[in-house]
Amino acid sequence: MKVFQKTWFAWLLTALMIGAALCIGMSKRPASSAPAPDTPPVSGLDTGLSAQSYNKYILDAADVLSAQTERQIALYNANWDYRYNSVVAVATVRNVSSGTVEDFAWDQGIDMGLGEGDAILAIETQNGDWFVAPGDDFSTILTNRAVSELQDILSGDLDESTVLAFYEALNGIYIDNFGLGNAQTSHNEIQTAASVGRILGFLFWIVILIWILSVIDSSRYNTYRRRYYGVPNPPVIFRPILFWHGPHSNWYRRNWRPPTPPPPPPPPPNGSGGFGGSGNRGPRGGGTFGGRPSGGSRGGFGGSFRSGSSSRGGGFGGSSRGSFGGSRSGGFGGSSRGSFGGSRSGGFGGSSRGGGFGGRR
């Protein structure tokens, strides 16, 4: 169609393709309510994580915690283990049978298989005693400010609301030190993959657009070449849509070749003339053969000889008829959960074993 050879149609198609590419890119953008890549949610827990396996870090012998509170504690630990490779267990007892609540805390931590990046909160309800026993790596986040905040929370009634407040404060301490840890890395990777996908999609449509414009340029150029090839000064200058198809480009010179010649005319039909054909039918008079009118002397030669008295001896005869014819395809800590309590130094408090802190309500 001639409309595809018009410059205005090519520019209109270009504008439509660019608009379509922008609309597709905008439709794939994340919703405005979603958090930006550099400002992910820092306080909320991922409720999609499975928390059932973290019930083993809860021992409620004093019957202080409700089932709902235990599920919330397990969810905290599921998130902390995913983000920082760390958990904080809790153990309650009415009365420690032997030793102190500090001994009870360390013993329960070992029995639960806690590691150096973990901790345990032990509560004795009868006397109102409590103790936090941290692993060596966990002790690095227990600054004076963090210990003071936790001590203020545990100085009240040792009920389930106090325990939940303790875990909520610990969540803030984790975030202040490590952000979202492994979850932050995963979040950034997802955002990066989404950005790369949008960029690749945009580049795909740009390539398609360039291909379409190149096809249009070739069609217009072929028409121009057929019309003006061999003309010294063409009255019209070819103006391509893509600037690299201009008159001084390799593309222009490479395609500036003689147009394809028209096909040769078909041969004449059978019997239109020639020796031995239908045109030589009928009487031979009026035809020519050997340069003379048909029916005249044929210009041959011959002879004969006879025996006898005739003097025509040595006769020779014959006839000579010459041939006739024509012819191209970070975690937090980094430790495994082994040998908890092997090194009990570095904690906070005045206990005899070091590494933890405790108090009495």
- Residue 216 belongs to some domain of the structure: yes
Q: What is the pLDDT of residue 243?
A: 74
- Residue 172 belongs to some domain of the structure: yes
- Residue 77 belongs to some domain of the structure: yes
Establish how many alpha carbons lie within 13 A of residue 62's alpha carbon, considering only the half-sphere containing its beta carbon. Answer: 21
Same domain? For 139 and 221 the reply is no
Count of residues in the chain: 361
Residue 354: count other Cβ atoms within 10 Å of its Cβ.
14
Residue ranges of the alpha helices (H) in 229-297? 250-255
User: Per the structure block, which two tokens stand in for 65?
Assistant: 């915690």
Burial of 194 (0-12, 13-18, 19+ CB in 10 A): middle
Q: What are the backbone dihedrals phi and psi of residue 353, each rounded to the nearest 5 degrees, phi first?
A: -95, -10
Task: Report the C-alpha gap between 239 and 241 in whole angstroms.
Answer: 7
Closest C-alpha to 84, from 169, 165, 185: 185
- The answer to whether 225 and 258 are in contact (CB under 8 A) is no
Q: Which domain holds residue 163?
A: 52-180+342-360
Same domain? For 131 and 225 the reply is no
Same domain? For 133 and 100 the reply is yes
The total number of structural domains that make up the chain = 2
Q: What is the pLDDT of residue 30?
A: 47
Give how far the C-alpha of residue 71 lies from the chain's centroid of Cα atoms, to the nearest Å. Answer: 39
User: Per the structure block, which two tokens stand in for 310?
Assistant: 């005739």
- The three-point CA angle 163-166-168 to 5° equals 110
Same domain? For 210 and 192 the reply is yes
Same domain? For 59 and 176 the reply is yes
pTM: 0.49
Same domain? For 116 and 195 the reply is no
Q: Where does a domain end: 232, 247, 262?
A: 247
- The answer to whether 89 and 121 are in contact (CB under 8 A) is yes
Residue 195: count other Cβ atoms within 10 Å of its Cβ.
11
Same domain? For 160 and 203 the reply is no
Same domain? For 166 and 134 the reply is yes
Same domain? For 135 and 80 the reply is yes
| Residue whose pair of structure tokens reads 């590419």 in the numeric block | 21
- The answer to whether 87 and 122 are in contact (CB under 8 A) is no
- Residue 310 belongs to some domain of the structure: no
Q: What is the pLDDT of residue 152?
A: 95
- Residue 10 belongs to some domain of the structure: yes
- Residue 126 belongs to some domain of the structure: yes
Closest C-alpha to 105, from 145, 164, 118: 118
Residues of the chain whose pLDDT is less than 70? 1-14, 17-18, 20-43, 184-194, 248, 255-262, 268-355, 361
